[in-house]
Chains A and B, each alone.
Chain A
Amino acid sequence: MNKLLVYLKKYKIETVMGPLFKLLEATFELIVPLVVAAIIDKGIATGNKPYIMQMALILVLLGGVGFTCSVIAQYFAAKASAYFAMEVKKDLFANIQSLSYEQIDRLGTNTLITRMTSDMNQVQQAINLSLRLLLRSPFVVFGAMVMAFSIDFNQAMIFLVTIIVLSIVVFGIMLWGIPRYKEVQSRLDSVMGLTRENLSGVRVIRAFGREQDEIADFKEKNEKLTVLQEFVGRVSALMNPLTYVILNFAIIVLLYSGSHKVFAGVLTTGAVVALYNYMSQILVELVKLANLIITITRAVACGNRIQTMLEEKNSMAEGTVDAAALPDNDNIISFENVSVRYKGDSEDSLENVTFSVAKGESIGIIGGTGSGKTTLVNLIPRFYDATNGTVKFKGTDVKDLTSSSLREVIGVVPQKAVLFKGTIRDNLKWGNKDATDEQLWEAIRISQSTDVVKSKKGELDAEIAQGGRNLSGGQKQRLTIARALVKRPQVIILDDSSSALDNMTDRNLREAIGDIDYKPVMVVVSQRASSVRNCDKIIVLDDGKVVGMGNHDLLMKSCDAYIEIYESQYGTGKNSAVTVSPSADSNNRKTKTAIELLREAAKNA
């Protein structure tokens, strides 16, 4: 938290002036009982009407000046906190953007978003309140005590004791309560979780006939919640009555001893009234202070979380070599005995992978769910580092390259097609912000999305909604491919990114990329044998291990896993009426699912 507070430095004036004016206001408030004492002792006792009028006017003035001071203070506090939040958020956003993939996975995007939004709001609010109250409340409490000391030493001792006892009670109950309220919240969460599960799983729960068990489970959790709520509530409810008793007994002592002092002539009646009034001021401020402290502790927790996020530095050491300036090399990409194990896993996700790709070659990667396909391609643009072995781009270890230059020359089309709010042009220019319209259209042509863009009103200027909601899955996929092509990358990675495309378009796309004049390396990741079968080299992955490598014909002879995948999609020929013919065209059609065919048939019928 303390490192966050440094951000207040830029707003020094506001940070200092806010509390200062608040103190001024409090000072004026502290004078009020003295003025009332004067009215009683001088005004009423001597019947001096003009004096009383004068004093009343002073009371109004004190109120007015106090009001002005606090308006100024509120302004400074609001300003300091708002701009503080702005500065922190700016740095936080920048820092989050600099994190590595490994860190993004570990921290989770939801956490990152929470830090930036709700945690930040809590901190901003706490800073604002602290600037206003953190000094004011103790000041009033101790100010009242000091004023009491100025009136009479012995009487002031009563204040001292009262303040100590009150503080113990107020803070004690609050400190006791905080962890218990957290527990209440977590029990409420479990009640809520159960409700949500029962709604989403209503079919399964009824299919298994579990309704009564669920009700019993709910009642048990609900009862647990209620019991704790009642218990915590009962103890917390002690605060008001207890403080009331303490304060009023202090007043009793004050009045009793005060009466003796007045009798002895040490104190005036007005002074006793003033002391009585100070006592009442203390409680209000103590309760405010205690509430503030709760807000602050909560905010400190948020602040610490934000601070750790600010201190989270990119875990990958940056290289220095510019990837774009590397001379051509026989092997554009080479993997040398590469293994990857994600943090917390007990087994490697990728084991001892070795291969290389020459300029203009295409490479296919195929395997089941979780076989390590994406893990493998993510190493090429250095989204992750290999745990063992080396990944090289044009003969240079990717760790020696600057990550921005490496990512400039590698176009990635991720599994999930993500587009952003803005026009189609805005989105495509992510690839290269200086791209001309001709270059954009060229990328659109290669990605088979000319029809998509032409069909939208405004073409390149057509708006894409957040998350690309106004586009179909296939349209989004093609535009994300176009976006990667705008880079004119030396390596283009298609990570299962044609799953929503029909086979014809998928093939045309691969052919169009193959025809690009400067011959980029194409890496195709897929579960579909049809997508990779024409690649120069196919890597078959199973459970993180390479179980086959070579072209289609070779693998069909030698790799059981590949044959199994192929047959699961093309049929074995044993049961089917037609034997598989190896022509690419007919194969493409055969891999259509029955649903796709039905849909077409339904349309024609």
Chain B
Amino acid sequence: MRELKRVLRYASAYKILIFCSISLAVISALLMLYAPILAGNVIDCIIAKGNVDFENITKILIRLGIVIIITASCQWFMYGVNNRITFRVVRDVRNDAFEKLQILPFEYHDSHPQGEVVSKVISDVDQFADGLLMGFTQLFTGVVTILGTLVFMLYLNWQIAIVVYVLTPLSLLIARFIAKKSYTLFKDQSVARADQTALIDEMIGNLKVVKAFSHEDENQELFNEINERLSKTSLKATFFSSLTNPGTRFVNNIVYACVALTGAFVCLDGRMSVGELTIFLSYATQFAKPFNEISGVVTELQNALACAKRVFDLIDEKPQIPDKENAMVLGEVNGDVSIKDVDFSYDKEKELIKDLNLEVAKGQRVAIVGPTGSGKTTIINLLMRFYDVDKGSIKVEEKDIRELKRSDLRSSYGMVLQETWLRKGTIKENITMGRDGFTDEMVIEAAKKSHAHSFIKKLPNGYDTVIGEDGGSLSQGQKQLLCITRIMLSVPPMLILDEATSSIDTRTEMRIQRAFAKMMENRTSFIVAHRLSTIREADRILVMNEGRIIEQGNHESLLAAGGFYAKLYQSQFE
């Protein structure tokens, strides 16, 4: 129920609209029930040849016309108002959710699968809006209609009203029964379908291998077997579930016959007119509808509440610590970085980095080496303040990075990660990343430096080629080159390169390294690398293992120390 309140709070921005919606719903539901009564009254004026009350008929028909127009306008306004409320609440919730994404700490992003978050922002929001808002109005109209019919029918004739009321729910029972049965059949179908999809996925997805081994015939056999199984279960499930409509229609026909029978007898007794009988008959045909709708709405509401909870949980997530109001200005960056007594771990139960100390002077090249999981990337996370240290401090230009604005700090680093990220858009847009003031020539110049130019110019529209989400058809190496180009375009005072060339062939890499070397002149840089030739040229080498810096120094001093690094280095020449 907390979720419902929450949704209503969003909707309360549109209070007047909601009030309109409810009143319009009541008016149109009641008027819709009134129309058949008027029609019935007209029929009562048509008695027999030569016996027709024209004066009354005209009067009632005019009234009917007015009622119809009012009903229709009410309906249209109600739909419009409901749409507006729903779509705007969806918009507001989505905006809030998206803004939240931008200030959530990396703990959240790194521990929640992307698909899950996307479905919260997109489909869950849609579902709860549909379910709660549309469902709510449907439920409301349904209840008004049922109550209205009840009152009208009781007013006209209570015996027939009872017949209708006792028999109609039967159709609900039938629908329920069929739904339950077909559920199991649908499950069988989806099992078979999953098998088939898996086979299609596997074989068509790897069609080239299949063809290289001329394995098509064997696949076809297997496919045919599953295909036949699927069509059998599919037949059963489709058939059984399609019985719902005939079933409920059958019940409604019985109700109709009963109303006709009892109605006719009541007419014979003179307690009811023929016109009133037609009113009953039209009520009987329409009556099952709100019942069926309401039972559908209830299940939808439960689902909608669950969706709403997921979305609001996201919006309520604790954000990262905001930048200080009176944050210091970083000013000109020379590249002095100091890490002092830093402790950090992702999982507070499990110690990772302990007592990390590092002084880096302007222009130094720091290489970080170590096996997977030794904490190399963690250091980058801390330098960029993607995560805050648990203890100790990191200072840039003598200023604690927690005293700075994050954007200020981050813009002083140029970062290339092993994992590439490209967005849907042109190559040029991906290189400039929305930064202004770069001419085409500057972009091309940067791409030449990163050796991306030669493949970009081969693309159909060169730098204006639109690439799909996550780089589309580009190879991993090409994507990495583009990410490097981004940094080449405007080089910040400090650099972070996290296995930036891992997917690029050695020859191109060697050329890029030359460009990197030039870029790194006079710039403080942190390099996570796996090739010893890169590491050897660094001013400082940090050897990490299990979250600790176990050795540091330059290549010569580390070799002379004869420790872990020396052993590692010597091992390649044994």
Contacts and interface: CB of A to CB of B under 8 A. Distances in A.
Given A238-B76, A255-B39, A207 B413 contact: yes
A255 B59 CA distance: 12
A284 B375 CA distance: 67
B121 A195 contact: yes
Contacts of B234: 78, 82, 85, 124
B228 A237 contact: no
Given A597-B571, A600-B571, A83 B198 contact: no
A605 B545 contact: yes
Contact of A368 (B224, B507, B564): B507
Contacts, number: 427
B472 to A, nearest CB: 11
Contacts of A604: 567
Interface string B251-262: 001101110110
A260 to B, nearest CB: 8
B50 A109 contact: no
B155 interface: no
Contacts of B98: 195, 198, 215, 218-219, 222
A238 B79 CA distance: 9
A472 to B, nearest CB: 14
Given A78-B235, A369-B505, A414 B209 contact: yes
Given A113-B200, A233-B79, A430-B215, A197 B423 contact: yes
The contact size tier of chain B is 35 or more
Given A59-B253, A193-B424, A207-B410, A132 B510 contact: no
Interface stretch (B102-110, B293-301, B326-334, B346-354): B102-110
A548 interface: no
A226 B49 contact: no
A599 B460 contact: no
Contacts of B35: 248
Contact of B260 (A56, A255, A543): A56
Nearest to A104: B207
B62 to A, nearest CB: 9
* Centre residue among B64, B94, B537 by max chain A CB count within 10 A: B94
Q: Nearest 6 A-B pairs (CB), nearest first?
A: A63-B253, A237-B79, A59-B257, A209-B407, A265-B49, A56-B261
23 contacts: A44-B268, A55-B260, A79-B235, A81-B238, A82-B235, A83-B235, A86-B228, A132-B242, A205-B102, A209-B407, A226-B87, A230-B84, A252-B61, A256-B58, A263-B50, A265-B50, A381-B212, A420-B206, A578-B573, A594-B369, A594-B531, A595-B371, A597-B572
Interface in B228-261: 228, 230-232, 234-235, 238-239, 242-243, 245-247, 249-250, 253-254, 256-258, 260-261
B359 interface: no
Contact of A206 (B121, B208, B258, B406): B406
Nearest to B242: A74
Interface stretch (A93-101, A171-179, A351-359): A93-101
Interface stretch (A65-73, A295-303, A332-340, A392-400): A65-73
Given A200-B421, A272-B46, 9 more contacts: A70-B245, A96-B207, A222-B94, A230-B87, A251-B39, A255-B43, A273-B278, A383-B208, A383-B211
B42 A259 contact: yes
Given A211-B102, A248-B64, A256 B57 contact: yes
Contact of B207 (A99, A222, A240): A99
Q: Is the interface of A mostly helix, strand, loop or mixed?
A: helix
B102 A109 contact: no
Interface string B528-570: 0111110111000000010000000000000000001001100
A569 B505 CA distance: 10
Contact of B46 (A49, A195, A229, A269): A269
B506 interface: yes
A225 B87 CA distance: 9
Contacts of A222: 91, 94-95, 98
A592 interface: yes
A355 to B, nearest CB: 22
B264 A223 contact: no
Interface string B194-211: 001110111111111111
A598 interface: yes
B117 interface: yes
A397 B128 CA distance: 63
Given A59-B260, A255-B43, A605-B564, A269 B421 contact: no
A167 interface: no
Interface in A469-519: 483, 487
Given A78-B238, A195-B101, A466-B202, A347 B52 contact: no
A195 B124 CA distance: 14
Contacts of A229: 83, 87
